[in-house]
Amino acid sequence: MQKQILFFFSTLLLTGQLHAQARKFHFTQHKMGSPFNLVLVSDDSAKAASLATACFALVDSLNRIFSDYDSSSELSRLNAQAGKTASPVSSRLWKIILQSKEAYRQSAHSFDITVGPMSRLWRKARKEKKFPDSLSVLRAHELVGFRHVRMNPSDSSILLEKTGMLLDLGGIAKGYTAQEVIRFLQARGVTQALLDAGGDMAMSQAPPGTRGWTIAINLPENTDELLPRRLLLQNKAVATSGDVYQYMEHEGKKYSHIVDPRTGYGIASQRNVTVIAADGALADWLATACSILSIAEAKKLAVQKGAELLITELRNNRIVYHATQGFSRYWKK
């Protein structure tokens, strides 16, 4: 369920007079297959560096739980038991899978972490530039559906009922991780910070001398150009989903790498979806679900979850906007 995030990291372009001693420190490391950019405000460079090291260590610890690329991760070990026995899991893995279960229910099954077999099928197809045959899609689709996941709260164990099932947390793990880093910093007295986890962003209070973190969004189907307006956010999370980087074409039709778990095929609508929410994991999975749902369904779901949604499309070389009523209050004036 990996999706390419289309945010342009712009917080370092902020201007404004900072407090005499407090200033922004920027740290970057490659994590979870993406660049992770951390900005925090501190009056002590040594403290900032120490906290950044601890934050990236936290990211590594979460990746050892959530990764489906690392065969030794906790998630991979759970996937290896599919069709065999129930496995007790850690509190963090239990929490994110439980949240994913609720997301599955609330999104009319458009968000489904059991999509792993289809994700792998389409990942291979894009790599080999060969469109999969319908039988392969059908076989992968038969392994998908959260109804085949059994969760036992008495011992925090999980059973994947079908052999070959694969959980894929790509549509929620980075947002969850970004939020956990912000919580980690807040617990240590850092109240002005932002983590860009490969495009899934979570942030606390605005930097000194500003009203928020300035965030830019890519134009639909464009890697370089940005929407003319910027977002101004604090104490929020934001995620954008689109197919500008990862897709494949077949018989004149463009299939996104975002797979609809209900059909087994990549979505064919070319649009960017931006979600602003109170929590990183919520923003992350909503961005995926709202890419798959119809525009009306997506707006309804976002409102139900207390989030704001912007969908941009290119029609006849013109940008068409679809937004929930409250989204406009986050545009930078």
**Residue 81 near residue 163 (C-beta atoms within 8 A):** no
- Residue 244 pLDDT exceeds 60: no
DSSP symbols for 252-299: TEEEESSB-TTTSSB----EEEEEEESSHHHHHHHHHHHHHS-HHHHH
Q: How confident is the model at residue 315 (pLDDT cuts 50, 70, 90)?
A: confident
Question: At which residue do the structure tokens 């897709």 appear?
Answer: 247
Does residue 280 surpass a pLDDT of 60?
A: yes
Would 115 be classed as within a structural domain? Answer: yes
Q: Which residues pair with 232 in a beta bridge?
A: 214
Does any domain span residue 7? no
Amino acid of residue 162: K
What is the Cα–Cα distance from 112 to 292, expressed in whole angstroms? 11
Per-residue pLDDT tens over the stretch 106-150: 999 999 999 999 999 988 888 888 888 999 999 999 999 999 999
* CA triple 328-211-308, angle to 5 deg: 30
User: Which tokens sit at 8?
Assistant: 């342009």
pTM of the model: 0.91
Q: Which residue has the higher pLDDT, 136 or 318?
A: 136
Count helices and strands in the chain by DSSP H and E runs: 8, 16
Task: Determine contact, residues 154/145, Cβ cutoff 8 Å.
Answer: no
* H or E element at residue 181: helix 173-187
User: Residue 93 maps to which CATH number?
Assistant: 1.10.3980.10
Per-residue model confidence (pLDDT) at position 18: 44
Element of type H or E holding 310: strand 308-315
In a domain, 285, yes or no: no
In a domain, 294, yes or no: no
Residue 20 lies in a domain: no
273 belongs to a structural domain: no
Q: What's residue 221's pLDDT?
A: 63
- Calculate the CA dihedral of residues 234, 240, 244, 247 and round it to 10 degrees: 150
87, part of any domain = yes
Structural domain harbouring 95: 74-160
Q: What is the pLDDT of residue 222?
A: 60
pLDDT tens-digit profile of 201-224? 999 999 999 999 999 988 776 666
pLDDT at position 251, please? 63
User: Total domain count for the chain?
Assistant: 1
Short-list 288, 57, 272, CA closest to 168: 288
Indicate if the pLDDT at residue 250 is higher than 70: no
DSSP 142-166: TT--GGGEEEETTTTEEEE-STT--
For residue 133, being part of any structural domain is answered with yes
Instruction: Specify whether the CB–CB gap between 253 and 100 falls below 8 A.
Output: no
Does the pLDDT at position 25 exceed 50? Answer: yes
pLDDT at 85: 96
Whole-number mean pLDDT of the chain? 89
